[in-house]
Amino acid sequence: MSVGDVNRISTGSVELDSVLGGGFPAGSLIVVTGPPGTGKTIFAANWIYNNIKKFGEKGLYVNFVEGHKSFIENMRSLGLDFEELERTGKFRFLESVTLKESGIPAIFEQILSEIVNTKASMLVIDSFSAISQVMEKPYEARIFAHTILSKIVRDMGCTTMLIIEKAGVEENYEVTEFLSDFIINLSKTEVSGALLRYLRILKARGTEIRQQRLAFTLKDGFNVFKPVSISGLPESTKKFKIVPHGNYYYSSGIQDLDRIVGIMFSKGCYNLLEIERDVTLPPERLFRVTVSNVLNQGGCVVILPPQGLSALTVWNSLEPFVYKDALNRNLKIVDFKATVVEKVEPHAILFEGKSLREDMLCFWNAITDFRIKHNRPVFTIVGFDTLEYVYGKEEVLKILGADLSRVRNFGDIRLNIIRSECNIVESLRSLASVHLIVRELCGAFFLQGIKPKTPLLNIDVHIDEETEIRLTPVL
Ligand SMILES: Nc1ncnc2c1ncn2[C@@H]1O[C@H](COP(=O)(O)OP(=O)(O)O)[C@@H](O)[C@H]1O
Ligand SMILES: [Mg+2]
């Protein structure tokens, strides 16, 4: 792997490699910092593992905290089989439980001879903090760091990762951080009760960084979520993979979501998709997978688009994904009289924009027509932000009861859409059976279940023979 004339060594994560212009420059010193439990050991292990497996490197892992057996077992639970790499002589694990007795110079000599014997091109010291703790004088740690840098990194060309346990980024820079070429800081935080893990690239010698903060998961190793808010989610014109409905519910069209939430979109229920302020993902990209899934299985759909979408935008966004017949026969979209264009006029429900009750009657009637004609529940979407914007909160609250009773009594299936900053958001939250929020964090898009609670789920588009939306939890 090389960019220009600098040899790069993969970070172990394809997404992080692309942010760093190919990876870490080979023969550099990398410092990984963060509080306990943030994934430093897994990051380092994943780095070594992938470079051995994919690029034929050799690695040495010096662990002052954890024993061999526990390391191997933990890593196996993440899908990283280090035993196999040990058998083939590509990986060595050095446990230094007796650090205090052997003393630093002896440990250092041992590391040096292991690197020479195994011809390791990668070294992890987990953790440098454990070494500093047993040193009597602060300058000893400095000398040790200098020696690692000059002998192991620069002379032997062994790319080295030092792990440092520390709580905040703001703490005084330790000597190792001055000497390092790269500093990666790992953190974790909570978003409405769900775990968010992210890394920050605090220093990257000779590398231009566009996205400094990246979210990741420890599911199946160390996996960084591709930042897509600038480039957007990948587009596709291939139809979505069909996900069948159940007896009492309609599928969301996203297999992962149905599985995680349990029953998605039960008959006779209000469901809510809340879009956080500042989410740049266009709303039609959020619901078109669900709408296509209903239409392509012969269902009927009536849409009152969220703020900013005309009937035409919605129609155009669905066209490549839905069979022509279904689109022409089973779909109706609300538009306002002044704005509707010819192409969608036959499929439009025209709102005057004066009396909400009168306009909603047209909407409810269109649903009833479909239900009578097809004798099955109708899937409806209502962008309540549009209603609030056009008619005002008070008017919307007046029709809410009637609207909900209709959904309940006729057993239809409703997905309401709202922006978090709208005034009626609280009322919709309390009436929803399933409540999901869309968020944009560290440049990536996430779906999160509030009712029922789910982890943060990264949204990704997988394009193969068909298009499929995949959700990966932050663990
Ligand atoms: N098999 C696994 N799947 C998902 N997460 C795991 C797994 N094993 C451990 N973890 C998580 O990894 C975290 C510990 O990672 P680790 O790399 O040991 O952190 P650090 O070295 O920063 O203390 C824990 O928070 C734990 O929840
Ligand atoms: Mg650790």
385-422 burial by CB neighbour count: b if 16+ within 10 A, else e?
bbbbbbbeeebbeebbeebbebbeeeebbbbbbbbbeb
Domain 255-473 has CATH 3.40.50.300: yes
Give residue 225 CA to ligand 2 midpoint distance, Å.
22
Q: Name the residue type at position 285.
A: R
Task: Select from 40, 73, 198, 218 the residue to mutate for testing ligand 1; criterion: most ligand atoms less than 8 Å from CB.
Answer: 218
For residue 195 and ligand 1, the question of a CB distance below 6 A is answered with no
Q: Whose CA is nearest to atom 12 of ligand 1?
A: 39
Cα 349 from Cα 291, distance rounded (Å): 17
Nearest CA to 286 out of 268, 310, 305, 267 is that of 305
Residue ranges of domains in the chain: 2-224, 255-473
Please indicate, yes or no, whether the overall pTM of this predicted structure exceeds 0.85.
Answer: yes
Beta strand spans in 82-193 (E): 91-95, 122-126, 159-165, 182-191
Rg from Cα positions in the chain: 28
- Ligand 1 in reach of 46 Cβ (< 6 A): no
Q: How far is the CA of 418 from the centre of ligand 1 (A)?
A: 36
Residue that is written with structure tokens 């309401």 in the block? 416
- Please tell me what DSSP assigns to residue 281: S
Distance CA 465, CA 452 (A): 32
- Helix, strand, coil shares of the chain, percent, nearest 5, are 40, 30, 35
Residues 252, 275: Cα–Cα separation, whole Å: 17
Q: Quote the crossing angle between the two packed helices 283-295 and 311-318, to the nearest 10°.
A: 60
Q: What is the pLDDT along the chain (475 residues), one digit of tens a residue?
A: 444 456 899 999 999 999 999 999 999 999 999 999 999 999 999 999 999 999 999 999 999 888 999 999 999 999 999 999 999 999 999 987 666 667 778 888 889 999 999 999 999 999 888 888 777 777 777 888 888 888 899 999 999 999 999 876 555 556 677 889 999 999 999 999 999 999 999 999 888 888 899 999 999 999 999 998 777 888 888 999 999 998 889 999 999 999 999 878 889 999 999 999 999 999 999 999 999 999 999 999 999 999 999 999 999 999 999 999 999 999 999 999 888 788 899 999 999 999 999 999 999 999 999 999 999 999 999 999 999 999 999 999 999 999 999 999 999 999 999 999 999 999 999 999 999 999 999 999 999 999 999 999 999 999 999 999 999 999 9
What is the CA(165)–ligand 2 centre distance, in A?
8
**Is the CB of 79 inside a 6 Å radius of any atom of ligand 1?**
no
CATH number of 2-224: 3.40.50.300
Q: Which ligand is nearest to the CA of 32?
A: 1
**153 pocket-lining for ligand 1 (C-beta < 6 Å):** no
Amino acid (1-letter code) at residue 290: T
User: How far is ligand 2, taken at its centre, from the CA of residue 36, in Å?
Assistant: 7
Q: How far is the CA of 374 from the centre of ligand 2 (A)?
A: 59
CA of 41 to the centre of ligand 1 (A): 8
Q: Please, which contacts does 388-397 make with residues 24 or more away whose CB atoms are closer than 8 Å?
A: 388/422, 388/423, 388/424, 389/307, 390/336, 390/351, 390/353, 390/356, 391/353, 391/356, 393/423, 393/424, 395/356, 396/356, 396/424, 397/424, 397/427
Q: Which atom of ligand 1 is nearest to the CA of 74?
A: 8
The H or E element spanning position 251 is: none
In terms of C-beta distances under 8 Å and separation of at least 24 residues, what long-range contacts does 400-406 make, across chains too?
400/424, 400/427, 400/431, 402/360, 403/360, 403/364, 404/270, 404/431, 406/364, 406/367
Q: Is the CB of 475 under 6 A from ligand 1?
A: yes
The residue whose C-alpha atom lies closest to atom 10 belonging to ligand 1 is: 218
